[in-house]
């Protein structure tokens, strides 16, 4: 979030934060419905395995991301 706010012009910060919050809430809704569907169809074991794989994949993406080395506090553009 800090990098997003750093690279976003001041005049657009409210719009950017509102858009990101809406996307976050929509993703949470879809994840809850999808998780419930997987749990209903496949059972708790496969559902928990799927959640574990998704979070492990997210961790790998975060660890390999160039954003870790992005200079904090520098305005771009």
Give pLDDT tens digits for 16-71: 999 999 999 999 999 999 999 999 999 999 999 999 999 999 999 988 887 767 65
Both tokens of 58, joined, read 């997210």
Query: How many whole angstroms separate alpha carbon 59 and alpha carbon 61?
Result: 5
Q: Does pLDDT of 7 surpass 60?
A: yes
Per the listing, tokens 């809850």 go with: 32
Q: Are 28 and 12 in contact (CB under 8 A)?
A: no
Q: How many CB atoms lie within 10 A of CB 52?
A: 10
| Long-range contacts at 15-19 (CB < 8 A, ≥ 24 apart) | none
């Amino acid at each position: 979030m800090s990098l997003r706010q750093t690279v976003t012009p001041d005049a657009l910060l409210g719009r950017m934060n509102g858009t990101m919050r809406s996307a976050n809430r929509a993703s949470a809704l879809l994840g809850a419905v999808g998780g419930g569907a997987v749990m209903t169809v496949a059972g708790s074991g496969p559902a928990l395995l799927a959640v574990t794989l998704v979070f492990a994949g997210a961790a790998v993406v975060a660890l390999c991301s160039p954003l870790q080395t992005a200079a904090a506090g520098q305005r771009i553009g």
